[in-house]
Structure 1
Amino acid sequence: MTSTTSQTSILDRARERVLVHGEPLAYDDLVAVLRTPDELLPDLLALAHEVRLKFNGEEVEVEGIVSLKTGGCPEDCHFCSQSGQFTSPVRSVWLNIPELVKAAEQTAATGATEFCIVAAVRGPDERLMTQMRDGVKAIKDAVDIQVAASLGMLSQEQVDQLVDMGVHRYNHNLEAARSYFPQVVTTHSYDERWDTCTMVKASGMELCCGGLVGMGETIEQRAELASQLAELEPHEVPLNFLNPRPGTPFGDIEPMDAKDALRTIAAFRLALPRTILRYAGGRQLTLGDLGTRDGLLGGINAVIVGNYLTTLGRDPKQDLRLLEELQMPIKALNASL
């Protein structure tokens, strides 16, 4: 059997398992998908797009994010310029409540239905929880948008407090596969992240949990991450591509190849057929304008518009024009409730 014939058969198996039976693609087949040759990449993306349309529809969820507390984080996530342990140039800054409300209003003006408040911390202290409580109330009083949060690792008491505030979705990424995690973070464990995710799910908040690819992991570890996310069953998976930040341990890693990034998008869609799969950080560097279009036609059904936490994103108008051109309607606010 030739290599191309073998790869064609994996696409046939993926179609049968995922598109026909609605079951997530298993680890071994995800590895095979991630090795799809270039000539079959269009077929792979087309299959992932079919899966997305069948199980998620044609709508795209649009989200904006803002950093409530930037820089000075005590953790050593090797990709992150917000760590206080590295020489990267991001320094600690706090937003006040009026600035948070203004950012939420600007996000809503783009057509986004989701506004995520992010803080660079190991986990929230009482000051941060108080500012979240005041900020969420002020946003809800001022603008019709759903509020999500990403504040690091949580206690059960903090989970309950966020529910009481009206935070409907919590982001806490696994970042990397269990087997690669010690190469990415040493100041906390994979299990600590997993525990926060399971508490969030049990609380009734939606769980947003994804990862970062292109950090030097193997194809097998990329498939492992997709499989572990499928086991966790988050409501949403943000897929980030490493944008190497000066001064961080991963600052000299070459950006991921665009075709490998597209294979990864398709593989994650096949591993998570019913999950919101969101374009997140690094997509502009890794994929550019053409690749961004290909990903939207290869399994992606949500985007973050505007800038990311410490890096620039595409102009929101570009993304919205592209969605209009592709005839992909933006999910209405009431459709996300």
Structure 2
Amino acid sequence: MTRTSTRRDWLRLADQALAGQPLTPEQGLDVLLAPDDEVLPLLHAAFAVRKHYYGKKVKLNMIINAKSGLCPEDCGYCSQSIVSTAPVSKYSLLDKETLLAGAREAMSRQAGTYCIVASGKGPTERELNQVIEAVQEITATMPLKICACLGLLKEGQAKRLADAGVHRYNHNVNTSRSNYAAITTTHTYDQRTETVRRAKAGGMSACSGVIIGMGETDEEIVEMAHALRELDADSIPINFLNAIPGTPLAHAERTPAMRALKVLALFRFVCPSKEIRVAGGREVNLRSLQPLALYAANSVFVGDYLTTGGQDVADDHRMIEDLGFEIERCAL
């Protein structure tokens, strides 16, 4: 395939993905380097894959920032890291009643998955027990799937979370192996992938994704997509950097909307059957083209993120309705 690919060429990629044949690195670059006037045919092909696995359904997820700030890690993108001077709230793990209230809010937003996210390197025993207690009550009283994101997991912690009712564990790879040291120095890429594997071995579904816009090359974006295919992550959040003042990456340029759409198409082709989620930064980077993202992705966060605001929930619901798509209800 050449850089002047036609509509028929993109549909061949869709056929290839549906046949279970991974894209070559060269084909991945063709997607990222496609001319902007090829984006609609490209999305048409990505949608053929998305529709095969998910029809016109959209999964909604809601985040609660269960523990904010107080993090010893030096991740350059994060307003909660030890090197950030961004003015963020700092508090220890929320109590059970607050976590339960968040679950009820997720239900009101029609979210099927409630994501309990805590800052820090990994959970202490006390924090793990608090989360387990809350999850047990939530799953006993509400038709919600629970995703936990608590940092690096130690031996045995994944099974305890799974036994409590945590359906999914999130731990993003964030960037490519070769770009990792430029983003953080307080833990390694391999530590992150090991936690993903521990989550799966412990009985949870694996959620792992990336942040686009942190100085990575096109080749590294293709590398990330194939790494997540190899990890067999069931859910892949695609974040686009929201450069926050006070963080080391504060001056990074936003990802142009058309490029963001090409990235989403790439991940759909490389990981065809997986839940691809348009995650943090979609409002800032995709701007008015947000609806087009759902032709490649089948999942979004509704409401605010950890320390940044999101689109109004009613606007998200209208966006899905106007596309002729439908919100997927939680099926436990």
Q: Deviations over 1:54-76 (max 9, x none)?
A: 12322111111101101111111
- Specify the alignment match of 1:321 in structure 2: 318
Aligned with 1:90: secondary structure? coil
Q: Deviations over 1:14-52 (max 9, x none)?
A: 134114x23332322111110001111111111001110
- Specify the alignment match of 1:262 in structure 2: 261
- Specify the alignment match of 2:62 in structure 1: 64
- Specify the alignment match of 1:283 in structure 2: 282
Contact 2:46–2:268 under 8 Å retained in 1: yes
For residue 2 of structure 1, report the CA deviation from its aligned partner. Answer: 7.7
The one-letter amino acid of 1:135's match is: A
Q: Deviations over 1:154-212 (max 9, x none)?
A: 01211111012110100000000111111111100000001111111122211111010
* Cα distance change on mapping 1:3 and 1:118 into 2, 3 Å: closer
For residue 98 of structure 1, report the CA deviation from its aligned partner. Answer: 1.5
Q: 2:10 & 2:324 partners in 1: Cα distance?
A: 26
Moved more, 45-54 or 198-207: 198-207
Moved more, 79-88 or 310-319: 79-88
- Specify the alignment match of 1:243 in structure 2: 242
Contact 2:209–2:238 under 8 Å retained in 1: yes
Q: 1:325 & 1:15 partners in 2: Cα distance?
A: 25
TM-score, normalised to structure 1, is 0.94
Does 2:11 correspond to 1:15?
no
Does 2:303 correspond to 1:303?
no
CA RMSD of aligned residues (A): 1.7
Does 2:76 correspond to 1:78?
yes
Does 2:167 correspond to 1:157?
no
- Specify the alignment match of 2:146 in structure 1: 147
- Specify the alignment match of 1:166 in structure 2: 165
* Cα distance change on mapping 1:41 and 1:96 into 2, 3 Å: same
The one-letter amino acid of 1:130's match is: N
Does 2:104 correspond to 1:105?
yes
Aligned with 1:156: secondary structure? coil
Contact 2:260–2:285 under 8 Å retained in 1: yes
For residue 12 of structure 1, report the CA deviation from its aligned partner. Answer: 5.2
Q: 1:2 & 1:10 partners in 2: Cα distance?
A: 9
Aligned with 1:51: secondary structure? helix
Does 2:113 correspond to 1:114?
yes
Contact 1:61–1:330 under 8 Å retained in 2: yes
The one-letter amino acid of 2:164's match is: M
Number of equivalences: 331
* Cα distance change on mapping 1:93 and 1:54 into 2, 3 Å: same
Of the three residues 13, 19, 25, the one matched with 1:27 is 25
Contact 2:237–2:276 under 8 Å retained in 1: yes
Aligned with 1:116: secondary structure? strand
Aligned with 1:333: secondary structure? coil
* Cα distance change on mapping 1:43 and 1:8 into 2, 3 Å: closer
Contact 2:139–2:165 under 8 Å retained in 1: no
The one-letter amino acid of 1:322's match is: M
Contact 1:10–1:32 under 8 Å retained in 2: no
Q: Percent identity?
A: 40
Structure 2 spans left out of the alignment, 5+ residues: none
Moved more, 313-322 or 136-145: 136-145
Q: 1:181 & 1:196 partners in 2: Cα distance?
A: 16
For residue 308 of structure 1, report the CA deviation from its aligned partner. Answer: 0.3
- Specify the alignment match of 1:189 in structure 2: 188
Q: Deviations over 1:97-147 (max 9, x none)?
A: 211111110110111111010000101011211211222123234433121
Q: 1:264 & 1:210 partners in 2: Cα distance?
A: 12
List structure 1 runs of 4+ shifted beyond 6 angstroms: none
